[in-house]
Structure 1
Amino acid sequence: MFLPMNNRYYSLDVFRGATVALMILVNNPGSWSYIYAPLDHAAWHGCTPTDLVFPFFLFAVGNAMSFVMPRFEQVGTSIFLKKVIKRTLLIFAIGLFLNWSPFVKWNEGLLVVKPWNEIRIMGVLQRIALCYFLASLIVYFGKTRGAFVTGAIFLMTYWFLCFWLSASGSPYSLEGYFGTRIDLQLLGSNHMYKGEGVPFDPEGLTSTLPAIVQVIFGYLVGQYIQQKGKSYELLSRLFITAVLLTLAGLCWSTAFPLNKKIWTSSYVLYTTGLAIFTLTTLIFLIEFNNYKGAATRFFDVFGKNPLFIFVLSGFLPRILNLIRIADRINENGHPVYLSPFGWFYEHVCKPVSPNLKNGSLLYAIVMIAFYWLIVYLLDKKKIYIKV
């Protein structure tokens, strides 16, 4: 039996809220040049704490899905498809909107329209949309057993594709990764991320395949939590599962390295294991020991408006970048302009320490506090923006 929605575990909400807060933290440093290693992504292979944030969020999407799927099954296939397709298109469109925003840019002192042929198509929200859509179909039509088997097939198939379709003798390298060729064909280089120095999208279409499994795992865990209820059997089995998946991911990484940017299958197992371990710890503290202190309340409000505050944290800096504050004259005699957020970093956060990483971290913490205040006020007014 599924528990009704009003019996939903508070620990799941705190888990989702903490994940959103960490996403904002790592996406908003004062300077990308000065970041402490745990708050930066691995250069290629490997997994830092920052590399856990996105898979944790997809895992949380699956948790949430486990609570609404019984209602979808009751209303029928046509209504299920209508709701899932509508939500998928809306989230994907919001992601495109965020990539294109604020639709104009400064060019030699003039504001010009950002052309469509320069806009990246994929991104975090677009991946969430695709993973949500495909995982929903797999779970709805395949049920629990079918979802588990499909997830396993996806992970093994992706490993096979990475190895056999590589463009060089190094299948898991930036140059050898097979997915880039497919993304180039389907998306085009102008619409891809270029942060690696070449067209390569870390949220590309091909690497979305294993990311879908992250949502499926989240669904299966959420379903199991509801079926077992608050019992020590639940805790022990979740803990054992977390250990086994984490170790399986580490073992697999000897052949298929942990890598967020191509979202390897070993990375899925490893991060899912850590997500289950984190969630199990929260269940133990919150549901079994009734810990509901300042920390849980802090993260809870992020979890009540997760999509809205994530989009706002990406959109607001883009809008404020259109405001140019004359700050100083550089060595060539040209004026240097800063945005309001940039001015705050340069003149308030940066001077606090000779170690520029401290100022950059302080800025990120202030941003967290700023966005927390927004979701806190929304929560006080009972305003919850859903998609």
Structure 2
Amino acid sequence: MTQPKQRLLSLDFFRGLTVAAMILVNNPGSWSHIYAPLEHAEWNGCTPTDLVFPFFLWIVGVSIAFAMSSSKADPSTHKKTILKAIKRGLTLYFLGFFLAIFGKLLNDPAHALQTVRLLGVLQRIGIVFIISSIIFLKASQKTIFKTLIIILAVYWALLTFVPVPGVGYPNLEKETSLAAWIDRGILTEPHIWASSKTWDPEGVLSTLPAIGTCLFGILVGIWMRRKDVDNPTKVAWLFSAGVAAIILGLLWDLQLPINKALWTSSYVLYAGGLASVALALCYWIIDVQGYKKFTTPFVVYGVNAITVFFLAGLMPRVLNLIQVTNPDGTKTGILVRFYETCYAPFFSPINASLVWAITYVLGFYVLLYIMYKKNIIIKV
């Protein structure tokens, strides 16, 4: 007999908070005017914005442990569950691919296919989800932990000891690292992140430690599901493990810098540790102590996380296809014109950009709240 799936309100809250933050930082009114904490680090280092994506992948791992535990206990269901995971992962990949090619395809289909970015946020989530789900189903907790350690160690060794062809020495720079060389070789420059064309922040090699981030979350999910451990012990151990991972990440940063674009091993530990501490606090406050009234806005985001992330990426692409004529005769996307008319004149540039982003988050909240009240949950 299979056990019913557990659901943590704190996990839905944490997921929703993370997705709302993703939408906030991805949709400023102007990319030229952004508060520092809402920007990514230039290269090495970590801002609050740099924690958003790893938090989400870590949460995916926790969710895998909760959603697939009953299947893991019954090997006869593994094939069905893996096929379902592959289908879901491919759906995520193609949603990301659709966002990357949308708009370009309408203007010049041939050029769009020749230059579309092959990897991205949703694509990485899909790939990581498939691989991590298979590992969870087929490996023991001890093996998952060992796999995480091996991934971090191998990736560290690849970045710091393998000479980069054409460069001659290992390095961690944007355009000359091993990760950048592999991206150019496998993806080719026309299909790499448009802002660089020489390296991709969601590239091929850096997907390996991203899987490590998800496995970190899976280990936490396994711990949180245990029936033989009381809640105070769960929280204490999770909090302690999180702090230990943060310290290890910061120590490793002295030799291997914390870097989101490279998704360095130190970054995996640092971000995973902070996520563990955050979930420990949320779990204690929400699920154990029962303080739930304040959670609704973010739970609303959490239960339809992928849906709102996709729509938030699609909406500006669609609306900016509608061009309006400026007084000087030039044409501008309607969303850009709306920002320049209704926001930019009434605030300082940086505050106008922030208010726009907040409006964007609140606007989607209205839609998600209606869906939540009607119990509409779109599962990708």
The answer to whether the 8 Å contact 2:33/2:349 transfers is yes
TM-fit CA distance, 1:3: 6.9
* Corresponding position of 1:281: 281
Deviation at 1:195, TM superposition (A): 1.5
Matched, 1:265 2:265: yes
1:293-314, CA deviations, whole angstroms, 9 ceiling, x for partnerless residues?
A: 23x1000011111111100000
3-state secondary structure, aligned to 1:30: coil
Aligned pairs for 1:227-376 (under 5 A) are 227-228=226-227, 231-294=231-294, 296-329=295-328, 335-353=329-347, 355-376=348-369
User: Residues 30 and 3 from structure 1, CA distance in 2 versus in 1: closer, same or farther, beyond 3 angstroms?
Assistant: farther
CA distance in 2, matches of 1:183, 1:104: 23
Aligned to 1:26: 25
Q: Deviations over 1:234-264 (max 9, x none)?
A: 1111111111000000000000000000100
1:35 corresponding residue in structure 2: 34
Q: Secondary structure at the match of 1:227?
A: coil
Spell out the pairing of 1:28-177 with structure 2 (5 A cutoff).
Answer: 28-73=27-72, 74=74, 75-104=76-105, 111-113=107-109, 115-167=112-164, 168=167, 169=169, 171-177=171-177
Change (3 A) 1:298 1:3: farther
Structure 1 length-normalised TM: 0.92
Q: Deviation of residue 149 (structure 1)?
A: 0.3
Equivalent residue number for residue 381 of structure 1: 374
What is the Cα deviation at residue 136 of structure 1? 1.3
| Contact 1:62/1:219 (<8 A) preserved | yes
Q: Answer yes or no: is the 8 Å Cα contact 2:82–2:133 preserved in 1.
A: no
Amino acid at match of 2:378: I
What is the alpha-carbon distance in structure 1 between the residues aligned to residue 122 and residue 270 of structure 2? 22
Q: Which moved more, 1:122-131 or 1:70-79?
A: 70-79
**2: distance between equivalents of 1:293 and 1:359?**
31
Letter aligned with residue 379 of structure 2: K
In structure 2, distance between residues paired with 1:39 and 1:3:
42
Rate the CA distance shift 1:234–1:119 in 2: closer, same or farther, 3 A.
same
Separation of aligned partners in 1, 2:9 and 2:159:
39
* Cα distance in 2 for residues equivalent to 1:48 and 1:171: 22
1:117–1:385 CA distance, 2 compared to 1 (3 A): same
Q: Displacement, 1:385?
A: 0.7
1:115 aligned counterpart, secondary structure: helix
Residues 29-82 of structure 1 show CA distances to partners (whole Å, capped at 9, x for unaligned) of 000000000000000000000000000000110011011222323242321221
* Counterpart AA for 1:323: I
SS at match of 2:266: helix
Q: How has the CA–CA distance of structure 1 residues 98 and 230 changed in structure 2, closer, same or farther, with 3 Å as cutoff?
A: farther
Q: Where do 4+ consecutive residues of structure 1 move more than 6 Å?
A: none
Gaps of at least 5 residues in structure 1 are: 106-110, 330-334
Structure 1 residue 378: Cα displacement: 1.1
What CA distance in whole angstroms lies between the structure 1 residues aligned with 2:291 and 2:333? 41
Q: Distance in 1 between matches of 2:200 and 2:232?
A: 43
Cα separation, 1, equivalents of 2:64 and 2:112: 37
**Superposed CA offset, 1:4-24 (max 9, x none):** 32x422101101111111110
Q: In the aligned structure 2, how far is the partner of 1:340 from the partner of 1:360?
A: 16
Distance 2:224 2:324 in 1: 52
Amino acid at match of 1:172: L
- The answer to whether the Cα contact below 8 Å between 1:55 and 1:272 also exists between their aligned partners in 2 is yes
Measured in 2, the distance between the counterparts of 1:359 and 1:328 equals 22
SS at 2:326 equivalent: strand
Displacement after TM superposition at 1:95 (Å): 1.1
Q: Distance in 2 between matches of 1:316 and 1:115?
A: 19
Secondary structure of 1:338 counterpart: strand
Question: 1:230: Cα distance to partner?
Answer: 5.1
Indicate the RMSD between aligned Cα atoms, in angstroms: 1.8
Q: Which residue number in structure 1 is paired with residue 223 of structure 2?
A: 224
- Which stretch of structure 1 is more off in the superposition, 141-150 or 250-259? 141-150
Counterpart amino acid of 1:270? Answer: Y
Aligned amino acid, residue 346 of structure 1? E
Count matched residues: 373
The superposition leaves residues 194-227 of structure 1 with CA deviations (integer Å, 9 ceiling, x where unpaired) of: 323x421100111000000111111111111110
CA contact (8 A) 2:21 2:52 kept: yes
Secondary structure, aligned partner of 1:205: coil
- What's the CA shift for 1:118? 1.2
Deviation at 1:103, TM superposition (A): 4.4
Q: What secondary structure is seen at the aligned counterpart in 2 of 1:386?
A: coil
Task: Summarize the Cα distance change of 1:161–1:345 in structure 2 as closer, same or farther, 3 Å threshold.
Answer: same
Indicate conservation of the 8 Å contact 1:328/1:337, yes or no. no
8 Å CA contact 2:105–2:113 kept in 1: the answer is: no
**Aligned-partner SS, 2:173:** coil
Are 2:7 and 1:14 aligned? Answer: no
CA distance in 1, matches of 2:350, 2:193: 26
Give the unaligned 5+ runs of structure 2: none
- Given that 2:65 and 2:136 are in contact with CA atoms closer than 8 Å, whether structure 1 keeps it comes out as no
